[in-house]
């Protein structure tokens, strides 16, 4: 029996009140039609719960279109292989679960399709869980055609996972997961009980949308297993998924169990690598790793035994070290289960490396990680590039990897040269891979058709231009009605703001003509960023003289109230004067628990500031968490600043992030740091550049190395006479 037209079903269960439901005439059952014998349309949570309790094989419970708030949706039922129990949207994409909603599945042969989770976050550990509780797991069940977007706990350090697969033989396909901001992997497969092991799950044709930099460990997009169960077989097949800008941390995928396959996936502009962190016998084949030249993009990081990496295309990847195109790690002799097992029996065959920065062999070699790869092969691979230099770096003895019949146009290191045919210019590149056109999957073949995939446009583009004139609270009024991407243009004159302005979307504020607009403010903070708040300010002369007589004012501040987000602040052609009404006055400060993707200052001037103008040192817990990914100060001047110009703090020894970055270039600093404070304090930064600055009555930048191998450049810094000065003092805490 298919669609029932206008027939009426009556369901009566126990003492629950009978509810009369009308089967919808409009539901298109699509691919499920043949296995559905009865439809039950429900419009309230009570109706749903009654229908779910009574569900029989072949039933389809249909959620009416609309917004379902705070819905603890549980489907605990026994379908059959020929007649599963379905939970469907009346119209795919039109059933929205918001507020504190979640979905739990338990039983057999269940199918869920067409839901959207947005405008809220889960009160549980998961948004979608393939178990009801620790006793009641799901088997042979499927979630498809479902969206989770920006469904983030407002406290970004609160940990949850959007999708967790338990049980066995489950399928997760054609779903769209985009914009996770808070702590915890986007999706995991768990093996924490016997009936979740040997699970043979199938994860395919999903769109894993942008995951911005998290700023600590815990930003993985997919994790399969945990170190504790890593020597257990999972057998999950991860196939034809598109990972789009999944850049939460150094592990895009963290493989931590045995017998998994990653086949035909595309990794696009994603920072980090598919990391074979724990567990043996992984197959990685037919994938496309396309960095498109974006920073820190990598390929596969190999650890443990019997890993096969074959017939993949690695293209335009810029990452190095842990984020190389291919990274073969050194192991720890007799490693504990949570450290690094030796690479043994790796087969790296028939891959194509085009324009990649590095292939790292023996990475991590140190006193602890001294076990070199053994019984391994690197065969029939092609390594081509237009740079002069080979991407291979050897950090230890690589005699345990047999190199043979590889091709390259870049002279390989002497130790590897027997394993390569070096192509001359004009030689055609041989086809050694089995099927060169089968790498990866197209974005359009993944996710759902009815929900847009985010594009890469600047957040400051695409809005209206709104012109305003001088006076009281003009900016407050304009921003309170602004839409994302809007640009507010200030006509010449004096602007004063008596109110603090909450900024929860990207907005540009620009002087119609640089130097004609003055701005003063009367509250502790003029701009308070939360959610997607981002500010681009240009051409304004800002005075701090009207601010209240408080300690610790800041022109721009972030707050955890209003939701998490990765903020951007750009200051162009700005001037800031007389921020000294009381102590510790800042220009931009980050609250603990907030994160800035980028704070960029260009061609701006700062004069008479009583605090630290750029203050990102709120995360003092030494958990590897920090407040800013990129701080860029270029071509600017600072004069009479009592604190350091900038302070960044990232404590702890975790190796999961690429930042913080601090680039200070082409700027002039005069009379900075009363009581000999350094020009800047960069604690735990991973990438710093201090170049071509002039330092007058100022101390060098203080750089504290806490972990990893930071990238450091400093040159061309001078004093008032143009003499070279050392602009950096370094302290190394790694020993
Ligand atoms: Ca991690």
Read off the pLDDT of residues 221-252 as tens digits, 9 standing for 90 and up: 999 999 999 999 999 999 999 999 999 999 99
Between CA 323 and CA 244, with CA 126 as vertex, the angle to 5 degrees is 35
Task: Find the 217 Cα to ligand 1 centroid distance in Å.
Answer: 5
Task: Find the 668 Cα to ligand 1 centroid distance in Å.
Answer: 39
Task: Find the 97 Cα to ligand 1 centroid distance in Å.
Answer: 29
Half-sphere exposure at residue 101, Cβ-oriented, CA atoms within 13 angstroms: 21
Q: Quick one: pLDDT at residue 26?
A: 53
DSSP codes joined into one string, 591-608? -TT-EEEEEEEES-EEEE
Task: Find the 254 Cα to ligand 1 centroid distance in Å.
Answer: 7
Q: Quick one: pLDDT at residue 14?
A: 37
Neighbours of 469 (CB within 10 A): 11
Residues 629 and 604: beta-carbon distance below 8 Å: no
Task: Find the 211 Cα to ligand 1 centroid distance in Å.
Answer: 14
* 172-181, 425-434, 584-593: least confident range: 425-434
Distance CA 327, CA 370 (A): 16
Task: Find the 165 Cα to ligand 1 centroid distance in Å.
Answer: 18
More confident residue, 542 or 24: 542
Q: Quick one: pLDDT at residue 7?
A: 37
Task: Find the 685 Cα to ligand 1 centroid distance in Å.
Answer: 18
Task: Find the 225 Cα to ligand 1 centroid distance in Å.
Answer: 12
Average pLDDT on 249-260 reads 97
Task: Find the 185 Cα to ligand 1 centroid distance in Å.
Answer: 8
Task: Find the 2 Cα to ligand 1 centroid distance in Å.
Answer: 47
Q: Of 596, 528, 560, which is closest to residue 154 (Cα–Cα)? A: 560
pLDDT in tens, 695-720: 999 999 999 999 888 999 999 999 99
Percent of the chain past pLDDT 70, that is, above it, reads 95
pLDDT in tens, 148-161: 999 999 888 899 99
Q: Quick one: pLDDT at residue 4?
A: 39
pLDDT in tens, 396-446: 999 999 999 999 999 999 999 999 999 988 787 776 655 556 799 999 999
**pLDDT at residue 668 greater than cutoff 90:** yes
Average pLDDT on 101-129 reads 98
Q: Quick one: pLDDT at residue 5?
A: 37
DSSP codes joined into one string, 633-700? EES-EEEEESS-SEEEE--S--------EEEEES-EEEEE-GGG-BSEEEES-SEEEEES-EEES-BP
Q: How confident is the model at residue 194 (pLDDT cuts 50, 70, 90)?
A: very high
Please, which residues have CB within 8 angstroms of residue 139's CB and are 6 or more apart in sequence? 107, 108, 109, 167, 168, 169, 170, 195
Task: Find the 141 Cα to ligand 1 centroid distance in Å.
Answer: 28
Task: Find the 188 Cα to ligand 1 centroid distance in Å.
Answer: 12
The CA-based dihedral angle spanning residues 597, 603, 608, 612, taken in that order and rounded to the nearest 10 degrees? 20
Task: Find the 317 Cα to ligand 1 centroid distance in Å.
Answer: 20
Task: Find the 677 Cα to ligand 1 centroid distance in Å.
Answer: 35
**pLDDT at residue 6 greater than cutoff 70:** no
My answer on whether omega of the bond before 660 falls inside 30° of 0, hence cis, is yes
Task: Find the 218 Cα to ligand 1 centroid distance in Å.
Answer: 5
Q: Quick one: pLDDT at residue 432?
A: 61
**pLDDT at residue 12 greater than cutoff 80:** no
Task: Find the 249 Cα to ligand 1 centroid distance in Å.
Answer: 7
Residue 206 to residues 165, 174, 211, 726, Cα–Cα distance (Å) = 14, 5, 14, 51
pLDDT in tens, 268-284: 999 999 999 999 999 99
pTM: 0.86
Task: Find the 176 Cα to ligand 1 centroid distance in Å.
Answer: 22
Task: Find the 656 Cα to ligand 1 centroid distance in Å.
Answer: 6
Average pLDDT, the chain: 93
pLDDT in tens, 557-583: 999 888 888 999 999 999 999 999 999
* 203-212, 336-345, 435-444, 723-732: least confident range: 435-444
Task: Find the 623 Cα to ligand 1 centroid distance in Å.
Answer: 13
Task: Find the 686 Cα to ligand 1 centroid distance in Å.
Answer: 17
- Residues paired with residue 46 on neighbouring β-strands, in sequence order: none
Distance CA 281, CA 225 (A): 14
Task: Find the 711 Cα to ligand 1 centroid distance in Å.
Answer: 21
Please, which residues have CB within 8 angstroms of residue 411's CB and are 6 or more apart in sequence? 390, 417, 422
pLDDT in tens, 633-654: 999 999 999 999 999 999 988 8
Task: Find the 525 Cα to ligand 1 centroid distance in Å.
Answer: 35
Task: Find the 452 Cα to ligand 1 centroid distance in Å.
Answer: 28
Distance CA 481, CA 707 (A): 45
**What tokens were used for 645?**
């110009």
pLDDT in tens, 485-503: 999 999 999 999 999 999 9
Distance CA 68, CA 64 (A): 9
Task: Find the 360 Cα to ligand 1 centroid distance in Å.
Answer: 19
Q: Quick one: pLDDT at residue 328?
A: 98
**pLDDT at residue 683 greater than cutoff 90:** yes
Task: Find the 277 Cα to ligand 1 centroid distance in Å.
Answer: 9
Task: Find the 271 Cα to ligand 1 centroid distance in Å.
Answer: 12
Task: Find the 250 Cα to ligand 1 centroid distance in Å.
Answer: 7
Task: Find the 534 Cα to ligand 1 centroid distance in Å.
Answer: 27
Q: Of 581, 585, 583, which is closest to residue 556 (Cα–Cα)? A: 585
For the chain, give the number of residues.
Answer: 735
**pLDDT at residue 18 greater than cutoff 50:** no
Task: Find the 251 Cα to ligand 1 centroid distance in Å.
Answer: 5
Task: Find the 270 Cα to ligand 1 centroid distance in Å.
Answer: 14
Task: Find the 205 Cα to ligand 1 centroid distance in Å.
Answer: 24
Please, which residues have CB within 8 angstroms of residue 492's CB and are 6 or more apart in sequence? 470, 511, 512, 513, 516, 517
Task: Find the 468 Cα to ligand 1 centroid distance in Å.
Answer: 47
Q: Quick one: pLDDT at residue 714?
A: 94
């Amino acid at each position: 029996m298919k669609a029932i037209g206008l027939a009426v079903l009556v369901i009566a269960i126990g003492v629950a009140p009978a509810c009369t439901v009308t089967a919808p005439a409009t539901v298109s059952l699509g691919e499920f039609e043949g296995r559905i014998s009865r439809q039950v349309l429900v419009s309230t949570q009570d109706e749903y719960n009654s229908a779910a309790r009574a569900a029989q094989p072949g039933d389809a419970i249909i959620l009416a279109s609309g917004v379902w708030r705070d819905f603890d949706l549980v489907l605990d039922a026994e379908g059959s292989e020929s007649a599963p129990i379905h939970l469907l949207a009346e119209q795919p994409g039109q059933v929205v679960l918001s507020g504190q909603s979640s979905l739990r599945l338990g039983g057999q042969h269940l199918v869920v399709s067409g839901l959207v989770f947005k405008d809220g976050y889960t009160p549980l550990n998961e948004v979608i869980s393939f178990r009801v509780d620790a006793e009641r797991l799901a088997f042979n069940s499927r979630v498809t055609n479902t969206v989770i977007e920006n469904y983030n706990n407002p406290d970004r350090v609160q940990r949850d996972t959007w999708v967790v697969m338990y049980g066995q033989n489950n399928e997760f396909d054609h779903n769209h997961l985009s914009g996770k901001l808070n702590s915890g992997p986007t999706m995991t497969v768990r093996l924490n009980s016997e009936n979740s092991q040997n699970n043979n799950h199938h994860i395919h044709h999903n769109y894993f949308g942008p995951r911005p930099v998290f700023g600590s460990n815990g930003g993985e997009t997919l994790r399969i297993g945990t170190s504790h169960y890593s020597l257990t077989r999972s057998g999950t097949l991860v196939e034809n998924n598109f990972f789009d800008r999944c850049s939460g941390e150094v592990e895009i995928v963290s493989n931590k169990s045995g017998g998994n396959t990653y086949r035909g996936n595309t990794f696009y502009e994603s920072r980090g690598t598919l990391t074979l962190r724990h567990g043996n016998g992984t197959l990685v084949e037919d994938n496309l790793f396309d960095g498109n030249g974006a920073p820190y993009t990598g390929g596969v990081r190999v650890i443990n035994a019997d890993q096969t990496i074959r017939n993949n295309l690695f293209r335009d990847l810029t990452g190095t070290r842990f984020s190389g195109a291919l990274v073969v790690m050194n192991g720890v002799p007799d490693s504990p289960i949570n450290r690094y097992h030796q690479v043994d029996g790796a087969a790296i065959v028939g891959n194509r490396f085009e324009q990649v920065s590095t292939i790292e062999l023996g990475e991590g070699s140190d006193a602890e990680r001294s076990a070199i790869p053994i019984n391994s092969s690197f065969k029939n691979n092609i390594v081509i590039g237009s740079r002069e230099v080979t991407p291979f770096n050897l950090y230890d003895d690589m005699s345990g990897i047999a190199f043979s019949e590889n091709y390259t146009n870049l002279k390989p290191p002497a130790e590897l040269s027997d394993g390569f045919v070096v192509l001359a210019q004009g030689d055609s590149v041989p086809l050694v891979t089995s099927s060169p056109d089968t790498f990866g999957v197209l974005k359009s073949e993944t996710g759902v058709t009815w929900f847009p995939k985010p594009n890469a446009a600047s957040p400051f583009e695409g809005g209206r231009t709104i012109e305003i004139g001088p006076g009281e609270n003009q900016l407050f009024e304009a921003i309170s009605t602004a839409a994302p991407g809007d640009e507010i243009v200030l006509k010449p004159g004096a602007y004063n703001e008596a109110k603090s302005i909450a900024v929860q979307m990207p907005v540009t504020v620009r002087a119609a003509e640089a130097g004609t607009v003055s701005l003063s403010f009367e509250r502790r903070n003029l701009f308070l960023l939360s959610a997607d708040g981002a500010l681009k300010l240009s051409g304004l002369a800002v005075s701090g003289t009207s601010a209240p007589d408080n300690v610790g004012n800041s022109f721009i501040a972030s707050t955890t109230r209003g939701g998490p987000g990765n903020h951007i602040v750009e200051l162009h052609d700005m001037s800031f004067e007389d921020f000294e009404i009381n102590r510790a006055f800042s220009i931009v400060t980050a609250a603990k628990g907030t994160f800035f993707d980028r704070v960029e200052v260009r061609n701006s001037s700062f004069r008479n500031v009583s605090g630290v103008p750029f203050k990102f040192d709120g995360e003092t817990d030494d958990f590897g968490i920090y407040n800013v990914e990129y701080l860029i100060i270029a071509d600017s001047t600072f004069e009479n600043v009592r604190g350091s110009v900038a302070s960044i703090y990232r404590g702890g020894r975790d190796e999961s992030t690429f930042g913080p970055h601090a680039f200070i270039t082409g700027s002039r600093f005069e009379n900075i740091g009363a009581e000999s404070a350094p020009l800047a304090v960069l604690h735990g930064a991973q990438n710093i550049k201090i170049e071509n600055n002039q330092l007058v009555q100022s101390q060098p930048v203080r750089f504290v190395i806490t972990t990893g191998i930071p990238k450091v450049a400093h040159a061309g810094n001078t004093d008032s006479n143009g003499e070279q000065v050392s602009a950096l003092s370094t302290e190394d805490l790694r020993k």
